[in-house]
Structure 1
Amino acid sequence: MANNKSFSKRHIDISERDKETLLAWRVAPNVVLESGRGCIVTDVDGNNYYDMNAGMMCMVIGHSHPEITEVIHEQAGKLIHESSWFTNPHIVELGELIASTLPGDLNVVNFCVTGSEAVEIGMRMAVGVTGKHDLVSVIRGLHGGSLGVESMTTIGGARRRNLGPLMIPAKSAAILAPFCYRCPINLEYPSCDIACLKTSRDLIESVTSSEVAALMTETMMVAGGMIVPPDEWLPRMRRLADEHQAMLLLDEAQFAPAKTGRMWGFQHYDVQPDIVAFAKGMSAGFAICGTVTTKEIADQARSKAGIPWGGTYSGDPLAAAVALKSLQIVLRDNLTER
């Protein structure tokens, strides 16, 4: 770690220009980073810092991994970008490899660019395929910053203050977080028998039209308090979704791959979701994310939900090559056990 808390003139100058020119999130002090290797990042003054966030929770095998830099160099000399109307070998291999790590019939991937986009694609699938319009999320959940997923997010309320109903009026944050440390209904686990979810069932009946397309949740609530649900909670969420003939949409942006001792966070629980959104760690720091579902849902989504969704950069060859190599390293080096 850097011991010198004063920055050079150049460092301060870049930081001030950043503030004047860019509309961006920053934390104080605004450290101007220039390089990184492994879990260490270095600023423009040569000060080193432990990167405890792995970038924006993306760099699961560290910064400047030699095999990743080799792939970047090789692929950049071949093809960086092409229209998402066409495919490339790396994106096909990546889709197949991701599907091979998932249980059940989750084997069709819609690639995109951001985690927000990945979750919104899942929302779109659920609404289109079920023909229902209520989406129900968890209090203390965070799903992204675009207007659709912001509608389903319940933390950071100040940033929504002037945005009205956003884009999803038929939505409700009606599921109490399984926050055993600060129980929302003042009970204690395990004697409570997951009463928070029983209360949530009543809330859903009260605040929705009962035409529920999906229940959606992070596998564990991260920004909402690092809440790890009791073992029974997620399987009972699955049952609650089934009661409404709704889909279970899991936001795995923070957990895959291998961050919890399993390839996917939900594999700690006896549950099978209908749709899974992934981002961050699957990207190796490149703009590649996605949504996985079953062939049955995917086939219906083509005609009912305007799916597949493909943006300008969805599945770009360079990003796909990097993400593929990163996931191959995770599997080869058995990072789930380490």
Structure 2
Amino acid sequence: MNHYIGPEEILRKKREYLIPCAYHFYNQPMQLVRGSMQYLYDSAGKEYLDCFAGVSVVNCGHCNPEITKAICDQVNTLQHTCTIYLTENIVNLAEQLARLTPGRLQKTFFCSSGSEANEGAALLASLYTGSSEFISLRQGLHGRTKLGMSLTGLSMWRTDNTPVGGINFAPNAYCYRCPLNKKYPECDLACANEIETIIKTATSGKVAAMFVEPIQGNGGMITPPLDYFKRVKSILDAYGILLIVDEVQTGFGRTGTFFAMEHYDVEADIMTMAKALANGTPVGAFTARAEIADVYTRPGASTLGGNPVTAAASLATLHYLTKHDLPGKAAVLGKILKDGLIVLQQKHPIIGDIRGLGLMIGVELVYSDKTPAIKETDFILEEMKNRGILVGKNGPNRNVLAFQPPLVITAEDLHRLLNNLDDVLSLIEI
């Protein structure tokens, strides 16, 4: 019988030894001790259906046996050398990414997190263009480093009192709460057109790149209209500005395609990725067209980036995703989830908006006057946890329920989720 210290002792040690920025969900949190595909288990033996996937990380499921075996085999053979020595996994992984990423993306630099990947992409864009300014979107999230925070358009994550300069923010395509008080499609994508105004009026004209997420995860699952990014790209191309697509949350089958930008039929100049690439092993990467990548010639390294174990985990993850067509399954299951949520919306007026693609769905909870239902969101998370179902929350006001389950979840699991959510929503009076 395993002995666990339990939630209360973890909280005590957390208060004493962790920097307090490391927050946690729930008023009554549990200690998670084990995972198996779409399920998690706590120290008391209770099972939970995971509908958040460690924030869009374990797309292939917790402790996936095939991926775990690849990791263990590699750990027992060669764990670390750094990129100053030749190993095979890193080049095989880069080759696979060149095959799987859309468009002409070809050459990759590996690191250990999405934050590092976005830092590296920004550096590469500056090297290629000779410019140093950037444009980002309101409600975007691009990392916890100094530059990543400065590129982030969510005040709760901008904890640096002296952010990096030379960054301008464009209105995002938040159609439910249009920042320009317009309505799609009559708006003629005014939010995208505003990017040109920003280039002309708020920058020096020396803009290296624009950062975008195909779906803004932390921003509240903001999902632009399908013609939005084509307009954005045409504006950027006219001014010689690169498009950096942050697929840290959206990549690797999550939205029903291997990469979310495929829905929009727009080619990134540089793509960043992390999270689901190695199904839980720390990883980050940025991939670029060859002519862009080839300007980065001065020495660069990431001590642990693309190490043999991480690369083995990533290769096994890509193999599992493609062998089991998890992107295709995410598209089918995502429709089941979205259709079920629409039924609940007709029954529960607290559901203001439902948005997303594949198994990346957000449900914005609001009062009758459309103000955010923040307290109710926390209540729902706690009650669903008590019923053995884990969901997330995000958005500037943290009033958006986030559904990002492992892609190995089943239709039966989703019906269980929807039935329990229906019951919990019925407990709310607004």
Q: TM-score, normalised by structure 1?
A: 0.91
> CA separation in 1, counterparts of 2:128 and 2:104?
17
> CA separation in 2, counterparts of 1:10 and 1:230?
46
Between the aligned residues of both structures, percent identity stands at 32
> CA separation in 2, counterparts of 1:159 and 1:279?
19
Quote the offset at 1:22 in angstroms: 1.7
* Aligned partners of 2:152 and 2:158 also within 8 Å: no
> CA separation in 2, counterparts of 1:25 and 1:316?
29
* Aligned partners of 2:103 and 2:268 also within 8 Å: no
Distance 1:139 1:63, change over 3 A: same
Quote the offset at 1:30 in angstroms: 3.3
> CA separation in 1, counterparts of 2:80 and 2:215?
34
* Structure 2 partner of 1:84: 83
Contiguous gaps of at least 5 residues in structure 1: 1-7
Quote the offset at 1:161 in angstroms: 5.1
* Structure 2 partner of 1:190: 185
* Aligned partners of 2:195 and 2:235 also within 8 Å: no
Quote the offset at 1:143 in angstroms: 0.6
> CA separation in 2, counterparts of 1:162 and 1:109?
29
* Structure 1 partner of 2:24: 26
* Structure 2 partner of 1:17: 13
Q: TM-score, normalised by structure 2?
A: 0.72
* Structure 1 partner of 2:414: none
> CA separation in 1, counterparts of 2:294 and 2:62?
38
* Structure 2 partner of 1:269: 264
Distance 1:31 1:10, change over 3 A: closer
- 2:304 aligned counterpart, secondary structure: coil
* Aligned partners of 2:41 and 2:47 also within 8 Å: yes
Greater CA deviation, 20-29 or 33-42?
A: 20-29
> CA separation in 2, counterparts of 1:87 and 1:47?
45
* Residues 1:299 and 2:294 aligned together: yes
Quote the offset at 1:219 in angstroms: 1.2
Candidates 327, 343, 347, aligned match of 1:336: 327
Contiguous gaps of at least 5 residues in structure 2: 330-430
Candidates 308, 312, 337, aligned match of 1:317: 308
Candidates 254, 257, 270, aligned match of 1:259: 254
* Structure 1 partner of 2:338: none
* Aligned partners of 1:211 and 1:244 also within 8 Å: no
> CA separation in 1, counterparts of 2:152 and 2:230?
22
Partner amino acid for 2:314? A
Quote the offset at 1:267 in angstroms: 0.4
- 2:211 aligned counterpart, secondary structure: strand
Distance 1:46 1:207, change over 3 A: same
Partner amino acid for 2:280? G
Alpha-carbon displacement from aligned partner over 1:167-215 (angstroms, at most 9, x marks no partner): x311111x11011111111111111110112223212322111111111
> CA separation in 2, counterparts of 1:103 and 1:229?
19
Give the number of aligned pairs.
323
Alpha-carbon displacement from aligned partner over 1:247-286 (angstroms, at most 9, x marks no partner): 1110000111011111000001121110000111112101
Greater CA deviation, 87-96 or 284-293?
A: 87-96
> CA separation in 1, counterparts of 2:93 and 2:183?
43
- 2:294 aligned counterpart, secondary structure: helix
> CA separation in 1, counterparts of 2:157 and 2:227?
33
* Structure 1 partner of 2:213: 218
* Aligned partners of 1:177 and 1:184 also within 8 Å: yes
* Structure 1 partner of 2:356: none
